[in-house]
Amino acid sequence: MNNILLYIGIDDTDSSSGMCTTYITCVIISKLKDCGFNITGHPRLIRLNPFARFKTRGNGATSFKLELKEVEDVEEVKKIVLECVQKLSVLEDERTNPGVVFYEGSITSQLEEFALKAIRNIVSIEDAENLLNKVGADFYKYKNGRGIIGALAAISCPLDDKTYELLAYRIAENYGKPRQINHESVREMDKHTYPETFDNLDEGYIAIEPHTPCPVLYGIRSENYGILMKAKDIVQVAEKVERYCVYLTNQHTDMHLQKINNIRDMEKFQCYIVEGVVKDKPHIIDGGHLIFTLKDESGEIECAAYEPTKKFRDHVRELEAGDVLQVYGGVGEGINKKGTLNIEKFELLELAIPIKLLNPICACGKRMKSAGTGKGYKCPKCSAKIRNGEKERIELVRNIKKGFYETPSSARRHLSKPIIREK
């Protein structure tokens, strides 16, 4: 008899204030291993559309797969998984709607397309349920069961590009307390493992440390599984670690982005790579957000570098009307709910050459002033006049060069690919 390959997907067990689907999955995997079941490969952490309206926090779903020998094993695994989900999920939170999927078939192109749609678009519970029934999957919904969307996507997401994340978890009695991480050891870890690990630090900010009362103590990200073990050994903590888990993930791959040719075709709650021309000089609005308009032949869209992106705004501030950009980001409600492109990074393709027009210089060496509309110029020093003088054209020096510019680690979305991974 051939072994049974069983995929399990889980999503929407956390809440906006606590718990974590990765932690619940890690607990489940430990229980299954204790019962003698064989987990195949790494569990997966798949981030979905960052603009999904009903997400809790990071909009991440998990999955893993097992090789089972008997049909009876399938039922035993389901029993263990569902008991853990029911026990650990934050069901009292109105936004928490867990979903669990069990699937024994092959991963078809239709399933992969569903996963990509869940990452790049908005998918309904009905869409997920219809596909699950079509492929013969067994699934369980708690409350409205929205989690079946992410659970199925986590199972079927193609990972042509991938990263790993090592997650360390706290003991329950420390949830909500300040994390006891030796920050100097994190800097040491970064010194010895960067760029094989990335997004560890951000000018003193410890980016591996969450700031919510969830079970995660810290998370280290890398393209290399082996380097994560070295990084873990360097990081020092002054509290008990309950367990560790390494996830294979689509984080920092830009999987959420779609290349689009026309600005007018962009829609709210989707993420894009779009090329256009800066229409106006970026300006600050209330809250410290920096705004400008990007245009092409089809239309235009407001772009924003929000206040949490900090020094990234300094690069945006240097843009001038006429600059040609390729912008990476997602369209949210934005200012006045008209749809704003939230910039994750941009590539400056071509610089406009801004020209400053100055009044002509008099023969005496003094710069002249206007003598009035249509009356030419008059020297304030010697009173000489010229009727048809031309303004002097001065080419301004730019404080920005062609190339990529990105938001800092502290403001980077889970899916956004850092420039260091482009190299």
Supply the pLDDT for residue 422.
80
Question: Which DSSP letter does residue 68 get?
Answer: E
Supply the pLDDT for residue 335.
62
Q: Strand locations in 238-352, DSSP E?
A: 241-249, 257-259, 271-278, 283-284, 290-295, 300-305, 324-332, 340-350
Supply the pLDDT for residue 1.
56
Taking the C-alpha atoms of residue 367 and residue 364, their distance in angstroms, rounded to an integer, is 9
- Four-residue CA torsion sign, 170, 190, 347, 293: positive
Supply the pLDDT for residue 355.
83
Supply the pLDDT for residue 211.
87
Supply the pLDDT for residue 390.
84
φ and ψ at residue 93, rounded to 5 degrees: -80, 130
Select from 271, 266, 269 the least CA-distant residue to 254: 271
pTM of the model: 0.90
Specify the CATH architecture of the domain 257-353+399-422: Beta Barrel (2.40)
Provide the CATH topology of domain 4-156: Alpha-Beta Plaits (3.30.70)
For the chain, give every domain's residue range.
4-156, 163-249, 257-353+399-422
Supply the pLDDT for residue 56.
66
Helix, coil or strand: residue 288: coil
Supply the pLDDT for residue 173.
95
Q: Which segments of the chain have a pLDDT < 50?
A: none
Asked if 163-249 and 257-353+399-422 have one fold, the answer is no
Provide the CATH topology of domain 163-249: Glycinamide Ribonucleotide Synthetase; Chain A, domain 4 (3.90.600)
Supply the pLDDT for residue 189.
97
